[in-house]
Amino acid sequence: MIRLSLSTLLCAFLSVPALALDSNRADVREFIEEMTRDYSFDRDELTQLLAQAETKQAILDAISRPAERVVPWYEYRQQFLTDTRIRQGTSFWRAHAQRLAAIGDEGIAQTVAGILGVETSYGRITGRYRVIDSLTTLAFDYPPRAAFFRKELQQFLILAREEAVDPKVALGSYAGAMGSPQFISSSYRNFAVDADGDGHRDLWSNWDDVIGSVANYLRVHGWRGGEPVFAEATLASPDLAAFDTKSIALNESVQSLRDKGVRFETPLPPEAPAMLIVAQGKNGPLYRVGFNNFYVITRYNRSNMYAMAVHELGQAVRATIPDAER
């Protein structure tokens, strides 16, 4: 008996050519039946739509590409805290000052500016793949995460119907993230808002909806107005044995960190949840204490470095805007 290794099998799946999705495949037929039965899609129309989707080798290559080396914080920061991106952020803030002010929380407004800058350079880099191609490719030809992407495909089709989006035209990332804020389909349906009241939630071309939707995402995930994101810190001892710095979790409190020799300033009370963050600076480790709002940013992207970059970029952009223009 010939036994194929998992890597050999995966390579076989990843060699799928760029061609139209076969709507007669058993798994595709099963999906069509599910959407017809559970969500009242027209069977023939959905079959025709999926038959126009293309399995893209480039998408499979992108999602299965070996992870690049984990860059240290000081290199990661340099990618986003550039003069160009800060200027872009300044232009974005000035163009949308009224909508940002309408959020009613400058901390969220600043964080929205940081997220949109890190995610897509304020709408300049939003993805070049048809979302229908990305999601069908990954739902039916990428076994490691097929279940997840099948659900996202389901959500995308429902979203397209709800928001009158042409599913054959909508573009996004290779993983199906859409628009300036890079919402996946389930996040789009759950957290996007119609900020300007025109009857549609448009994250591709309506900046009011984009800003309002990112702000809503932060609020739903527990943002607390007026509270800090993180504080610079020093340690009494470089020994980190007493800390869990690998988990992205509020696994300490202000007081417990101080009891362990972490020195930092914050207006938050002793019982406030907190976490110790260790980042690699150019000349050695840097320490910060993250609070609730830091954790909220990591719900957008589960990375401490991402959350730090978002916060610092948002701060840098906000600093360029005179008080009279905010």
User: Which active-site residues does the annotation give?
Assistant: 119
Beta strands in the chain (DSSP E): 19-20, 54-55, 129-130, 171-172, 230-235, 252-253, 262-263, 273-281, 284-290
- Give me the helix-helix angle, 292-300 and 304-319, nearest 10°: 110
Alpha-carbon gap, residue 22 to 256, rounded angstroms: 57
Strand 262-263 with 230-235, pairing: antiparallel
Do the beta carbons of residue 279 and residue 304 sit within 8 Å? yes
What phi and psi, each to the nearest 5 degrees, are found at residue 15?
A: -95, 10
Do the beta carbons of residue 39 and residue 158 sit within 8 Å? yes
Strand 19-20 with 54-55, pairing: antiparallel
Reduced to 3 states (helix: H, G, I; strand: E, B; else coil), residue 278 is strand
